[in-house]
Amino acid sequence: MLSNQLHNGLETAKLLWSRIPNSEDGEVDGGSLLRNSNGNTVESLDYEVIENYAYREEQAQRGKLYVGYYVAVKWFLALLTGIGTGLAAVFINISVENFAGWKFALTFSIIQRSYFAGFVIYVLINLILVFSSVYIVTHFAPAAAGSGIPEIKGYLNGLDIHGILLFRTLIGKIFGSIGSVGGGLALGKEGPLVHTGACIASLLGQGGSSKYHLSSRWLQVFKSDRDRRDLVTCGCAAGVAAAFRAPVGGVLFALEEVTSWWRSQLMWRVFFTSAIVAVVVRTAMGWCKSGKCGHFGSGGFIIWDTSDGQEDYSFEELLPMAVIGVIGGLLGALFNQLTFHITYWRRNYLHKKGNRVKIIEACLISVITSAISFGLPLLRKCNPCPESDHDSGIECPRPPGMYGNYVNFYCGKDKEYNDLATIFFNTQDDAIRNLFSAKTIHEFSAQSLLTFLVMFYTLAVVTFGTAVPAGQFVPGIMIGSTYGRLVGMFVVNFYKNLNVEEGTYALLGAASFLGGSMRMTVSLCVIMVEITNNLKLLPLIMLVLLISKAVGDAFNEGFYEQQARLKGIALLESRPKYQMRNMMAKEVCRNQKVVSFPRIVKVADAVSILQSNLHNGFPVIDHVRNGETLVIGLVLRSHLLVLLQSKVDFQHSPLPCDPAGVSKSIRHNFSEFVKPVSSKGISIEDIHLSSDDLEMYIDLAPVLNPSPYVVPEDMSLTKVYNLFRQLGLRHIFVVPRASRVVGMITREDLLIEDSEDPASVELHSTSGASSI
């Protein structure tokens, strides 16, 4: 009788649930985050449809109008993400350009009198900028170190790494980037901008940062990890779009490189965000054209226009281009391997010694970088300026205080330039512009380029992994364009008749190194085309990328994958491992002890179960008539903790609270079950209950997910993996094989026509859709 009643209550709950319309996507879930059982700060995210009763109740109260509001908010937040990321990018660029501009202007004016004083000033300014960056990162926002892309990749794969999407991380990233890039280290600001975009998106998605009292109640609409994840994807695309002024490249980067799940509806919103960024950046640059932004303007956003370069190519050139691809693959794979080992050593030995060591390390590298970039050009003899360059608009030597080719540095005569200083004693953006430049054949000597390649490669390897925000795009382009230009020089000497531009080879070299290191394909291709504004080279870039990626893949994984592995971010790849085909589902959970809850649980039992293990989800098992058991759903630790903390659902009797209608038993707002991103949530240790409370009972029926996905125990693990990975799940129940089949679902059963008529939807929801 008792179990019968329990069963009836459950049936009522199901019936009610089947009546309640859901949100726009039908894919909103309880958004629970909890510490993993391995105890570190990497947490799992839930992208599945977890429809517990509280959620459904909330949806029912709001209805259709709410759905429209929800969609509007999604687009509005994408708009804000675009604007915010665009403004952040403009701010970083203006700051970096101004710091670097002042620095070089001051140094150049001092070296007119004393090269030593100039050197000291140059080193000091760089040191101060790098010190401020590393100080901000170590003391204020430790999660802002590095590029941030592996962490964002992890987040979008379903892992929440503690701290990466906080407000302080955002601030640390922005100001840290300004210091580290302005301070002339061998790193870029593009990776950090992707992280910045993701942070802005995440903060908007959870309605601000409550810790800094910047939250807004009316923005707190997103209650599921899925919606937040989508917005973070928009943020990533916005970051790339802003960093490279490459809106389409941004969309593709988000698609190819960072997201793990992608829906075509999302593409449309990501595209919108990127377009907004393009408009914001263009507006800001238009505003700066009148000289209001100091040194920003001629340099600034990286667009290395090569549209006046080589128009066409001949088939003989395909061989040297293939050589560039191979070099890119080899150097890229070597770069990944070296950074992997150095970062491993740093994480496990050096950085364990505390913040002081991190600061000293970064400062030391800053001094070395400054010394090399200032000192090496001094050792290099100047070359006389080439003749008859007046028609191309390129002056030699370049006028003081300007950007351009042919830097006069430590030269005896006026009409001379120092080719090593042209690339080394310069901001990276300008150095790349010089390397990419057309109509400057024989500007650089092979010796200078080789010297620069070796030194900069070493610096880039050593610098990555210090406790400052650091991107790898621009250093990669520097390295690649140097050896590309070297190959280009040989081509110019070898095929004398052709209209070959060394700058084109530099561009292909840049593409090849990025391909060999990061292993991106389509997105990198589009980014390269967008930043160089030259569509004609697209087939060549594709060719070079194909080769360099294939060569690199023969040696190791991509840069971001390696860094993610190093940081303990275990990404679920899109395809199952080879061994899984030989395993069954029950084998992987062979050593597990399944801890389950009954439907009505005593509070004391619940507390002791939660204390006894670190599981995040528990099956709920009910006893039905004739003593048989039935799995009635999944309850999440985080939801149980909310129930235990609030105590309002406690009841005295071990009977279902209200067999006639479950609705009255819900005293919780769904939003109470939602936890902010990047925080730790409640723990069982935080909950203190009186002995009276411990004697009471809770009915779990309203908070459980009534139908988690199940697999039979002898299913191949490959298939289980596909299920888990494709649907973004967090828990799968392994159950015994069924004894009978109730029905088969095929394509035709799922082709239900969308009824446009709201009345018929109402009808369906009342009648339980019996007519279909």
Residues 207-246 that bind a copy of itself (CB under 8 A): none
Would you say 658 and 564 are in contact if contact means Cβ atoms under 8 Å apart? no
Which one of 217, 289, 390, 747 is in contact with a copy of itself (CB under 8 A)? 747
The piece of 192-200, 464-472, 476-484, 752-760 that touches a copy of itself (CB under 8 A) is: 752-760
Residues 271-310 that bind a copy of itself (CB under 8 A): 271-272, 274-275, 278-279, 282, 307
Q: Is residue 191 within the footprint of a copy of itself (CB under 8 A)?
A: no
C-alpha to C-alpha distance for 721 and 710, rounded to whole angstroms:
12
Q: Are 538 and 531 in contact (CB under 8 A)?
A: no
> Is the distance from CB of 149 to CB of 197 less than 8 angstroms?
no
The residue among 168 and 764 lying less far from a copy of itself, judged by its C-beta, is 764
Interaction between residue 256 and a copy of itself (CB under 8 A): yes
Residues numbered 536-565 forming contacts with a copy of itself, rule: CB under 8 A: 536, 538-539, 542-543, 546, 549
Establish if 744 lies at the interface with a copy of itself (CB under 8 A). yes
Residues 6+ apart with CB under 8 A from 566: 340, 343, 344, 347
- Cβ proximity to a copy of itself: between 288 and 470 the closer is 288
Q: How many residues does the chain have?
A: 772
Under rule CB under 8 A, residue 589 binds a copy of itself = yes
Pair 688, 45: CB distance under 8 Å: no
Instruction: Output 403 or 618, the one with its CB closest to a copy of itself.
Output: 618
255 or 603, CB closer to a copy of itself? 255
Q: Tell me the per-residue interface mask from 601 to 630 with a copy of itself, x by CB under 8 A, - otherwise.
A: --------------xxx-x-x------xxx
Question: Could you tell me the two tokens for 318?
Answer: 């395909």
In a 13 Å sphere around the CA of 601, the CA atoms on its Cβ side amount to 26
Nearer to a copy of itself (CB atom), residue 109 or residue 629: 629
Strands 600-602 and 697-699: antiparallel
Whose Cβ is closer to a copy of itself: residue 325's or residue 475's?
Answer: 325
Report, in Å, the least distance between residue 264 CB and a copy of itself.
6
CB nearer to a copy of itself: give 372 or 717.
717
Radius of gyration (C-alpha) of the chain in whole angstroms: 30
Q: Should residue 87 be labelled a site residue for a copy of itself when binding is judged by CB under 8 A?
A: no
368 part of the interface to a copy of itself, by CB under 8 A = no
Q: Which range touches a copy of itself (CB under 8 A), out of 161-169, 416-424, 500-508, 714-722? A: 714-722
Instruction: Return the residues of window 508-537 that contact a copy of itself according to CB under 8 A.
Output: 521-522, 525-526, 529-530, 533, 535-536
Nearer to a copy of itself, 292 or 581 (CB): 581
CB 236 within 8 A of CB 266: no
Within 8 A by CB and 6+ apart from 703, the residues are 52, 53, 54, 635, 639, 640, 643, 668, 673
CB of 235 to a copy of itself, least distance (A): 17
Name the minimum Å distance from CB 104 to a copy of itself: 30
Got the DSSP string for 442-511?
Answer: T-S-HHHHHHHHHHHHHHHHHHTTSSSB-BSHHHHHHHHHHHHHHHHHHHHHHSTTS---HHHHHHHHHH
Q: 281 vs 687, which CB is nearer to a copy of itself? A: 281
Taking CB under 8 A as the criterion, the residue among 292, 353, 577, 625 binding a copy of itself is 577
Distance CA 90, CA 78 (A): 18
Q: Does 25 bind a copy of itself (CB under 8 A)?
A: yes
Say how many residues touch a copy of itself, by CB under 8 A: 137
The rounded Cα 498 to chain-centroid distance in angstroms is 43
The Cα–Cα gap between 47 and 27 comes to 8
When binding is defined by CB under 8 A, the residue of 414, 748, 757, 759 that contacts a copy of itself is 748
> For the stretch 110-139, what's the b/e string if a residue is b when 16 or more beta carbons lie within 10 angstroms of its beta carbon?
bbeeeeeebbebbbebbbbbbbbbbbbbbe
Question: Is 681 exposed, middle or buried (CB count within 10 Å of its CB: 0-12, 13-18, 19+)?
Answer: middle
When the beta carbons of 105 and 769 are compared against a copy of itself, the nearer one is: 769
596 near a copy of itself (CB under 8 A):
yes
Residue span binding a copy of itself (CB under 8 A) among the ranges 210-218, 459-467, 641-649, 749-757? 749-757
Counting contacts by CB under 8 A, is residue 316 touching a copy of itself?
no
Binding a copy of itself (rule: CB under 8 A), the pick from 402, 740, 757, 759 is 740
User: Shortest distance, CB of residue 275 to a copy of itself, whole angstroms?
Assistant: 4
Nearest distance, CB of residue 532 and a copy of itself, angstroms = 9
Distance CA 619, CA 594 (A): 8
